[in-house]
Amino acid sequence: MAQLRIAMAQVNPTVGDLDGNCRIVLDHARRAHEAGAHLAVFPELVVTGYPVEDLALRNSFVSASVKAVAALAERLADEGLGELPVAVGYLSRRVGVGERYGQPAGTPQNAFALLHCGRVEVGSAKHHLPNYGVFDEARHFVPGETLPVVRLHGVDVAFAVCEDLWQGGGPVAAARRARAGLLVTVNASPYERDKDNVRLELCQRRAREIGAAVGYVNMSGGQDELIFDGDSLIVDAEGELVARAPKFEEDLFVTDLALPAADGGVPPSEGPGEAVDGVRVVRHLLSGEPAEPYAPAPPVLTPRADPASDVGEVYRALVVGVRDYARKNGFGSVAVALSGGIDSALTTTVAVDALGADRVHVLLLPSRYSSEHSVSDAEELVKRQGVTSRTVAIAPIVAAFEEGLTLEGLAAENLQARVRGTLLMGLSNQEGHLVLATGNKSELATGYSTLYGDSVGGFAPIKDCWKTLVWELARWRNAEAERTGAPPPIPENSISKPPSAELRPDQLDTDSLPDYDLLDGLLDAYIGTDKGMRELTTDGYPPDLVERVIRMVDRAEYKRRQYPPGPKISSRNFGRDRRLPITNRWTPRS
């Protein structure tokens, strides 16, 4: 056996910020060196941030990324870190292939590099390109065709990129053929509820298939709608969990491994040999001899998968999402319209946890239909959390509109929501706050919201949370406060009272929508599992309800497209992964 000390850098880069991202790599490489690591591994596309989307198709961006990686290698050497092999993901291009009709322009690749002694020592690229859910990589990249296997302190280490681990064949099969002692994958794998054990089980299965340890290094932090939750881990060749980093945190995690020493002093030279499964093994020699034996340090092994922590994890994902969206877009503060209801109460609380109360500005915008408890519940939250608040009564503004144009019914209801949206945007334009929209997923699904009204804003923290989850999150947050001896931030009355938009007298959500327990179950079954009308009624939902709700969902597509982005916590989603044509005359009948 040979020893290897691996540093997994679970960092949080920003898309397009090449300089800043390279600084992050440099800082963590220095820490890895100080910790005596033999190898530092960073996430997929760490140099550019992930996802680059169509920046991949900009020739000048690809060139800038290639240059940045070369400069990073030199900089590492200049700072005395040249001996430490540093594994990074970056954007590159495939050379030696011509432009072909239908192929991404400029042949960009989701590339991998090992930086060593001032040079880009090893180059390869992601082979399997995911093109489902939030991923569009067949649009943006051409596939890589090599698996690099690097002899490092006598161990053959294979390197692959994210999806290459998920799909069978290709790089996984090549790693087995190459008799690698360790397969390291660099990843940008977004958070989803219950996804962490899926990743662990995948690594365990692959380790047993390949007969080698597997190291999985993931990104952390929020990038637009994606929240990367870290959860980097290492399993041994039997699939036993050896090390596991905490979720969401940006940090460096060092693990000592004992791995099989490779046969022979020098790896067999493999030139441009034949590709099997579309993948060719390319070997590199960094250091043939095992490291001097040393006493291994105990690994980080963060416990996970306590089902009770699920709601708490969602809450944390939302906080990370708001924190990073504000920071990465250059906003120092946020503004929220606080109604006294649960959605705006939870949104405000998430924002306070993300940014601090002094950076959260709320507007209380009572109308002629606002109940007394709405105002008092909102004021109670302001008091408990210490956010800055202002109150503007909207009745005189609504009256001024109605002088110019008489509106009735739904048009009059929407007018009030739009007056609020305009006030909120006015405050934002005047003072520079990021506006947070407060809509939840049940509203987005059914279209129970006002375009350009409650839907205004730059980010929508709870847009992927069903209404029933919104209540759970609020209760969890209050319980967490009590657990730590702090006062509960959310007024109990905001959680317990029946929900209402308060756009007409005595209005309740249940006037227009079924009870949320029933509705959320039905929505989740329709959107998540794609059941047709017959299956949903077989599941026990009344046929007229099924028909009504399905129609609402399909007709709300336009509103959803106009909604601000927000943190994704689920693959049962709209948006990129569920995008209907706006003109869509079809409703499932069976």
What residues act catalytically? 44, 126, 162
Q: Are strands 108-116 and 86-93 parallel, antiparallel or unpaired?
A: antiparallel
The CB density around residue 300, as the number of other CB atoms within 10 Å, is 19
CA–CA gap between residue 32 and residue 227 (Å, rounded): 25
Closest CA to 590 of 531, 523, 534: 534
Instruction: Give the residue with the Cβ less far from a second copy, 305 or 410.
Output: 410
Q: Could you tell me the smallest distance in angstroms from the CB atom of residue 418 to a second copy?
A: 4
According to CB under 8 A, which one of 134, 145, 166, 524 is a site residue for a second copy? 166
Q: Which two tokens stand for residue 546?
A: 């099924």
Instruction: Give the residue with the Cβ less far from a second copy, 101 or 506.
Output: 101
Query: Which segment (262-270, 505-513, 515-523, 575-583) binds a second copy by CB under 8 A?
Result: 575-583
Which residue reads 């441009």 in tokens? Answer: 272
Q: Is 126 in the site for a second copy (CB under 8 A)?
A: no
The CB density around residue 333, as the number of other CB atoms within 10 Å, is 18
> Which residues within the stretch 523-542 sit at the binding site for a second copy (CB under 8 A)?
530, 532-533
343 is in an annotated binding site: yes
Q: Is 56 in the site for a second copy (CB under 8 A)?
A: no
According to CB under 8 A, which one of 99, 101, 271, 274 is a site residue for a second copy? 101
Residues in contact with 524: Cβ distance below 8 Å, sequence separation at least 6, in sequence order: 466, 572
> Which residues within the stretch 217-256 sit at the binding site for a second copy (CB under 8 A)?
223-224
Q: Is 18 in the site for a second copy (CB under 8 A)?
A: yes
Q: Could you tell me the smallest distance in angstroms from the CB atom of residue 530 to a second copy?
A: 6
According to CB under 8 A, which one of 3, 10, 49, 93 is a site residue for a second copy? 49
Closest CA to 151 of 179, 131, 189, 127: 179
Q: Could you tell me the smallest distance in angstroms from the CB atom of residue 342 to a second copy?
A: 25
Cα 306 to the center of its chain, rounded Å:
21
Q: Are 568 and 465 in contact (CB under 8 A)?
A: no
According to CB under 8 A, which one of 264, 271, 298, 404 is a site residue for a second copy? 404
| 70, HSE (Cβ side, Cα atoms, 13 Å) | 7
> Which residues within the stretch 63-92 sit at the binding site for a second copy (CB under 8 A)?
63-64
Instruction: Give the residue with the Cβ less far from a second copy, 384 or 578.
Output: 578
571 is in an annotated binding site: no
438 is in an annotated binding site: yes
> Which residues within the stretch 270-329 sit at the binding site for a second copy (CB under 8 A)?
325, 328-329
568 is in an annotated binding site: no
Instruction: Give the residue with the Cβ less far from a second copy, 20 or 386.
Output: 20
Residues in binding contact with a second copy, number by CB under 8 A: 91
340 is in an annotated binding site: yes
Instruction: Give exposure, 391-410, as e/b (b: 16+ Cβ within 10 Å).
Output: ebebeebbeebeeeeeeeee
Closest CA to 9 of 72, 64, 89, 81: 89
According to CB under 8 A, which one of 71, 376, 510, 558 is a site residue for a second copy? 558
Instruction: Give the residue with the Cβ less far from a second copy, 84 or 382.
Output: 382
Q: Could you tell me the smallest distance in angstroms from the CB atom of residue 336 to a second copy?
A: 15
Compose the 369-398 pattern: x for residues touching a second copy by CB under 8 A, - for all others. Answer: ---------------------x-xxx-xx-
Q: Is 511 in the site for a second copy (CB under 8 A)?
A: no
Q: Is 444 in the site for a second copy (CB under 8 A)?
A: no
According to CB under 8 A, which one of 263, 372, 403, 506 is a site residue for a second copy? 403
Supply φ then ψ for residue 128, to 5 degrees.
-90, 120
CA–CA gap between residue 365 and residue 419 (Å, rounded): 9
Edge-to-edge strands of the sheet including 241-244?
241-244, 233-235, 213-217, 182-186, 155-161, 146-152, 280-285
Supply φ then ψ for residue 513, to 5 degrees.
-125, 155
According to CB under 8 A, which one of 204, 414, 446, 449 is a site residue for a second copy? 414
According to CB under 8 A, which one of 25, 40, 45, 55 is a site residue for a second copy? 55
Q: Could you tell me the smallest distance in angstroms from the CB atom of residue 182 to a second copy?
A: 24
Which residue reads 């053959």 in tokens? Answer: 156
Q: Is 419 in the site for a second copy (CB under 8 A)?
A: yes
Q: Where are the alpha helices (DSSP H) in 35-160?
A: 59-78, 137-140
What pairs with residue 226 in β-bridges? 223
List, as residue ranges, the binding site for deamido-NAD(+): 414, 443, 559
